Amino acid sequence: MESTLIGLGVQTFKVALSLALPMLLAGLGAGLAISIFQATTQINEMTLSFVPKIILVVVVVIFAMPWMMNTMIDFTTRVFNMIPTFIF
């Protein structure tokens, strides 16, 4: 029983990380590219660092949404199917 719950917790963290990873990597890549651009041109505009990252993350969310929904639906279905095993 405990090992099943621990496994479910680990699986939950893996799903959450895999769902957040595309947006985090897009924001990281955009931030790095913008930082290099700002360092080479010496333009220190604050909106230049935030607006492109926000736009890129929104674009990644739009394109990754079908995969994210399928992953969440599969995980939720597995969790709901496991409920009878938790009843004593």
Parse the chain into domains and list their residue ranges. 17-80
Cβ neighbour number for residue 48 with a 10 Å cutoff: 14
Mean pLDDT along residues 29-51: 86
15: pLDDT confidence band, cut at 50, 70 and 90? very high
pTM beyond 0.75, yes or no: yes
Angstrom distance (rounded) from CA 5 to CA 12: 10
Q: What is the pLDDT of residue 49?
A: 79
